[in-house]
Amino acid sequence: MDLLARREHSQLELQRKLAKRFEVAPEAIQAAVERLTAQGLQSDQRLAEAYLRSRSNSGQGPLKIQAELREKGVDAEIVQRAFKVAALDWVQVATEVLQKRFGTATFEGPADAANEDDVENNPARHNPDRDKRRNMQARQTRF
């Protein structure tokens, strides 16, 4: 029960964690998890919706979120249902992440890409190797 009090877990996650904690038959663990599900204390659907909301708010994309939920043992149909319920605008999510990480600058298209040497105004264009070469060239010209 304390596992479910902290956050939502999938049935598979609960089975794995309980198997590590208790040395009982896998059938007993599976029966216990099924009882929790029947009582509404565990729900893969709730997990999928909460996980999707959390990960999208932190800037993760739909493919990564789907893969992570599948790793947790959540059925593909439940994952798809969670995505339908959330009805996220992934372009808007990506734009918000871009603004959060790099300021108010937005990518307007090919015209922005033409200014690739303007690292000071566009931190996304930072290139450590190019910066090293420029620093070495600057040192060589000083001596």
pLDDT at 5 > cutoff 70: no
| For residue 58, pLDDT beyond 60 | yes
Please write the tens of the pLDDT for every residue from 24-38: 888 888 888 888 888
- Please tell me the distance from the alpha carbon of residue 56 to that of residue 59, in angstroms, as a whole number: 5
Look at the pTM and tell me if it is higher than 0.85: no
The pLDDT value given to residue 117: 54
Tell me how far the alpha carbon of residue 83 is from its chain's centroid. Answer: 14
Residue 45 has pLDDT above 70, yes or no: yes
47 or 102, which is more confident? 47
Give 11's Cβ-side CA count (13 Å radius).
19
Sign of the dihedral defined by the CA atoms of residues 39, 42, 44, 47, in that order: positive
pLDDT for residue 35? 86
